[in-house]
Amino acid sequence: MPIQDRDYIRGSHPPNCNCVECTNKRLKKTQGETYQKFIPNWPRFGKGSIGKRADNMGGQKAYRHRPHIPNWLIALLLMVALSVAGLVTSRFVGSFIPFCLLFGFSVFFCIEKWLSHYTRKYRFFGRIYRLILNLSALSLLGLLIWSGVLLFTQQFMQSPLIGSLIFMVELAVFIWLCRVVYRNSWRQPSMKLTVFSLICLFLIFAFAGVQPFSGYKDEAVGKITSFINTQREEAEGRSAEAKAREIERLRDLGFSDPASVVEELSTNKELKIGIEVLEKVNDIRKERGSTELQWDSELYEYSLAHAKDMAAQKRLFHSSMYEPFAENAWGGEGSKSWTAQTIVDSWMNSSMHRTWLLCPGLRHVAVGVAYSNNGMYAAWTFWRSETSLSDWWYIDSPDNPPEWWY
């Protein structure tokens, strides 16, 4: 404990004390304005010295005692004056906020100005004072937030001008009170301890059924539960709408059981990429006036098996010419992050592969995708029966495709 604090506890002031009482005593000693009964015992001045000093001051009555007003009386008068002013203002604006602000300000100002010695001398009163400071700062912060919300929604006061003035006064008092709390930060309890204690007390009283804390708890829990349920219902509604749109999209692509496919897409990345390839090719065909293609489940089995074979062998090859189906093959090693757009662009940049994307006789296709250890392979599979000999133009003239192919 510092030496000064021990002196305060013992009831004596240290030599360098800066309280109001000690400052006044040193000032009186400097000016020579001591009480008459102490003059004979003061070694610096005797009767002759006092008379000589009075003569040097031009005959002025240097030692006339001025009336002494106690500090507590000054503080009381100031608190009464500000309280009356607050009552008058509150009656004028129709709210008790001005009275609370002025009364609280007067109390803390008087304690800091004239009565801080007692809060230093008596530790118990100092702790009570710090606790009241903390609670007042927290209450004023809550009042400031509440007033700000009502002010910006134009519900604070009958007059927006009066509401704005009161809000600015609240803000000024809050800033001043924060400075007072900072100056008293060496006292206990701290602000963190106060906030933690308030939260703990609120929770204990709320769950113990003490009113009104229990009512506040039930209301808060009800609002939180209602908010969570509302968000869950909205999320479920959005998910149901998205699922319905996805089912409709897959039905348009020719899937016989789109609902089960939607469930599978959440885990089957390869199938998702294959469907995206078909949609992108359909967009290109639509721009060129060709019929949109449909997904064929039987072709998908052949296409997926062919893609897996290529991934296992890490090379591109085609199925036998005697099979009822044919395919475009694609493969990419060195990465597993290829996209559907990459596959479509690769086929569209090849005249022979572009033939089997834009062939006007095609109606049903499927796209199988499979991953190797460090790559990805895809197969665009279609029925040979839906093509004709005229579609195999590249056999005789691979470098001269029909003009409409572009």
Share of the chain above pLDDT 90, in %: 47
Q: What is the pLDDT of residue 379?
A: 96
Residue 368 has pLDDT above 80, yes or no: yes
Q: What is the pLDDT of residue 5?
A: 52
Residue 1 has pLDDT above 50, yes or no: no
The mean predicted confidence, pLDDT, of the chain is 83
Mean pLDDT of 104-114: 93
Q: Which long-range contacts (CB under 8 A, 24 or more apart) does 282-290 make?
A: 284/344, 284/348, 284/357, 284/358, 285/357, 285/358, 288/358, 288/404, 290/358, 290/360
Q: What is the pLDDT of residue 390?
A: 53
What confidence tier does 43 reach under pLDDT thresholds 50, 70, 90? very low
Which of 30-34, 43-47, 96-100, 269-273 is the least confident region? 43-47
Contacts of residue 399, defined as CB under 8 A and 6 or more positions apart, other chains included, come to: 351
CA atoms within 13 A on the CB side of 275: 20
**Does residue 262 or residue 61 have the better pLDDT?**
262
Mean pLDDT of 295-312: 94
Q: What is the pLDDT of residue 179?
A: 93
Residue 102 has pLDDT above 90, yes or no: yes
Q: What is the pLDDT of residue 118?
A: 87
Taken in order 31, 35, 36, 42, the sign of the CA dihedral is: negative
Mean pLDDT of 29-47: 49
